[in-house]
Amino acid sequence: MTSDAEIITLAVVQALLGYTSETRWIRRLRTDTDLRAMFPRVPGQSGYNKRVHSLTAAMTWVCAALRRGSRVHDDTVWLVDSTPIECARSRPTVMRSALAGWAEYG
């Protein structure tokens, strides 16, 4: 059986590698020989999903501990990344924008 620590590690690696689909992530784990060597007992997609969701509190605690141990909360600049959302695609809309001349079109 895969340990809780391994499931948390797999969830972190999944996020870092940008896998939003658990099905694709599990497929990658089963086909990638390097990952397979590190995690030989990967549960199926349903089992992985249940384990990840049951470990939400533990992952939240780990994130909070890391946050407390870093100086990020004192920083005056924060970098935030999210899924890009397309807006103001037409050239006339872009040219009317308050950001015209500052932001790129496209």
What single string gives the DSSP state of each residue in 12-80?
Answer: HHHHHTT---HHHHHHHHHH-HHHHHH-S-PPPHHHHHHHHHHTHHHHHHHHHHHHHTSSGGG-S----
* Structural domain range at position 22: 4-74
pLDDT tens-digit map of 6-60: 999 999 899 889 899 999 999 999 999 999 999 898 899 999 999 999 999 999 9
Residue 82: what pLDDT? 66
User: Can you tell me the distance from the alpha carbon of 18 to that of 53, in angstroms, rounded to the nearest whole number?
Assistant: 18
- Higher-pLDDT residue of 75 and 12 is 12
Number of structural domains found in the chain: 1
Is 80 contained in some domain?
A: no
Is 88 contained in some domain?
A: no
To the question of pTM greater than 0.75 for the whole model, the response is no
Give the mean model confidence (pLDDT) for residues 101-105.
64
Is 94 contained in some domain?
A: no
Residue showing tokens 């940008």: 18
Start-to-end C-alpha separation, the chain: 48
Is 84 contained in some domain?
A: no
pLDDT tens-digit map of 62-74: 888 877 877 766 7
Is 64 contained in some domain?
A: yes
Residue 7: what pLDDT? 93
Is 16 contained in some domain?
A: yes
Is 97 contained in some domain?
A: no
User: Can you tell me the distance from the alpha carbon of 17 to that of 96, in angstroms, rounded to the nearest whole number?
Assistant: 37
Is 15 contained in some domain?
A: yes
